[in-house]
Every structure is written in C-alpha cells, then in structure tokens.
Chains A and B, each alone.
Chain A
Amino acid sequence: MTMFRRAGTECVARFTAEEAQVLRQCVAELAALVSDDPDPDDPAVERLFPDVYPESPDDAAEFRRLTEADLKQTKLDQAKTVLSDLLEAGGEVSLDETAADVWLRALTDVRLTDERLGRPLGDVLLQPTEIYVRPILELLRSSVDVRGLVHITGDGLKNLLRLAAPVGYEIDDPLPVPDVFGLIQELGNVSDDEMHEVFNMGCGFCCVVAHRDEASALALLRRHYPDAKRIGHATGRDGEIVRA
C-alpha cells in the first residue's frame, strides 16, 4: 500500500487486495466485538469503553448506562464506514476531512483492541536479543559440573542434539511461551510442531548440568534470570527430543 497523502482536500492511499483483506478482517472483528454484548472484563472492551470514575464503581456504572450505547453505535458506524470505503479488491481510497476523521478513529479502535502483547508489536519485534555470556561464564567458573551449553535459535530445541553426546532429551516442564508466538502462530496458521521447530518459544539458552548440581546451577542463573528453571532431563534415547 501507499501511505495516505494529501491530494487537494482529500487524503489518498492505495491498498493491494491482500492488505485490504487483512484490514477489513481487523475492522470486521472490531465491529463484532462492539456489536455483540461486550464482555466488560475483556481487556479490549475495557480499553474501548474506559471507566470514567475508576475510584467510584457506582458512578462509573451509572455513567456507562447513560453513554455506552451511543459510544458503541458510533464505533460500530465508524467500522462500517471503513468497510464500505475499502473494497475487498483493494484499490484507491480517497477520504475527505470528515471521512479521514472516521478512519482515524476506527483504526485507533483496531489498534487499541490488538493489545494482547501488552505493548506495541513493533516494540516486541525490536527487542534486542538476549546476551547470555556473563551468566554462562559465571556458571563455567563455578563448581557446577556443566555437561553442555546450547543457544536455542532457529530449529528450536533441536539445537540440543548438536551437543556431541549419545543422549536424547525430555522437556517435561517448558518455560511459558511469550504471547508474540501465539500471535505468529494464529496469523500464519502455523502448526504447534512447526512453531517449536522454527522458534525457541521463549527459551533462549539451555544448560545441561549434572543432576546433583541442579540446585546450585539454578541458584546461580536465577541471579540473572529469576525465571530460569529446570525444564527437563537427558534420556538414554539417542537423538530423540520429547516435548511433554
């Protein structure tokens, strides 16, 4: 697509068919969220219809009762305008000042409701890679019997098999998966297995240590990474990785 640019009194942009479909889908989802009976505990709904009196639930409820229906209708009308301006096939969209105002509001609503990452997607994607050198050097200098160190990058946990040892691994207690992977999986329609094969799923580094040193290794690593934990153990099944 092209950015919206001023052309006389109008703002003009061009969309490809794919872009138009993605945007139309987002706006349609917003319209559905607003027009169905919105669940007040849904964070997206809370953000679209904030409490005017956060310290006074009664006043907030009363205000909501008087104003929410209008606000809902406005947001729904805005979404419908975008859906009628933007054809499924894409093409040129030309907006006068009033229409541009409606689009801005509708797009803001779409952006507000896609907040499940807790911060803008751009921030998540631009987060620099974690550097593990310092804690790992500390681990190597400690008395812990370190058997293997694996940076988990592309190929995910398969990287464990790059350790020269005739063993396999059973991952029975994995780290929590960051939300961004759920978003990638959903938008790309990717299977669970493929996700784990391609991404590290939030587990950037594995240390294989002797069983008797588990507690001391964790104590040391948790000084840098409080959420470090034992995620599994080595098995005698050479070359096999099992995810529980």
Chain B
Amino acid sequence: MASPQTVPVETPDIDEVPETDRVWVTIVWNDPVNLMSYVTWVFQKLFGYSREKAEKLMLGVHHDGRAIVSSGPRERMEYDATRLHGYGLWATVDKP
C-alpha cells in the first residue's frame, strides 16, 4: 500500500472554489483494496462530480498514488475526509 509522504501538491483544478478559500485540500491515497469503479462512484456521490471528472480523479489516485479531490476551508476538508472514511477511502487533509 502506498504510504503518505510529504510531497508538494499541485493547485487543485476545482472551479467552484473561490481563490481566497483555496487553502486546504483533501487528498485521497491509493490502496490495494478498493475497486476503481467503486472509487469513481464515491467521488460522484459525495462531491456531485460528473462521471468524467470522478474518473479522472480516480485515475490520479491509481497512477500517482494520490489525488486532490476537494479544496477549501479546513473545516470543510475535514468534513470531506470523514465522509470519505465512511466509504472506506483513505483520505487526509493538508495545506499545500
């Protein structure tokens, strides 16, 4: 299983979030258990992302070991991480 490392994270490409709130991010890490279709479905369900966007994020997790799935105020990111944990995904919160 991939383990968390300190890595610089790219600025997330999420249009809905105002520039000033782009402070904290929620990161989902790769794991050997969850299926690609399940991860895509969770992203769609929790964040209302289109299938295309959810698949792109899922492939980011799959190929790069991690992907930024949401960004915004810290409390929102903590809420997102908790919801992702509820679905068995491995999520952390970070400030890039």
A residues sitting closer than 8 Å to B (CB atoms) are 47-55, 63, 67, 70-71, 74-75, 101, 104-105, 108-109, 111-112, 115, 118-120, 123
Contact = CB atoms under 8 A, between A and B. Distances in A.
Given A52-B92, A53-B92, A63-B78, A120 B85 contact: no
28 contacts: A47-B31, A47-B90, A50-B90, A52-B78, A52-B81, A52-B82, A52-B91, A52-B93, A55-B4, A55-B94, A63-B78, A67-B78, A70-B82, A71-B82, A71-B85, A71-B86, A74-B86, A75-B86, A101-B45, A105-B86, A105-B88, A108-B34, A108-B38, A108-B88, A111-B34, A112-B33, A118-B1, A120-B32
Contacts of B6: 55
Contacts of A50: 85, 90-92
A109 B82 contact: no
A178 B45 CA distance: 39
Given A52-B92, A108-B38, A115 B86 contact: no
B82 A54 contact: no
A95 to B, nearest CB: 15
A42 to B, nearest CB: 15
Contacts of A111: 33-34, 88
B84 to A, nearest CB: 9
DSSP majority for the B interface?
mixed
Interface string B24-64: 00000001111000100000010000000000000000000
A45 to B, nearest CB: 12
A41 to B, nearest CB: 16
Interface of B: 1, 4, 6, 31-34, 38, 45, 78, 81-82, 85-88, 90-94
A104 B34 CA distance: 11
- 6 tightest Cβ-Cβ pairs between the two chains A and B: A108-B88, A54-B4, A119-B32, A52-B81, A52-B93, A111-B33
Nearest to B45: A101
A203 B27 CA distance: 41
Given A50-B85, A50-B90, A63-B78, A104 B38 contact: yes
Contact of A67 (B45, B82, B88, B90): B82
A54 B90 contact: no
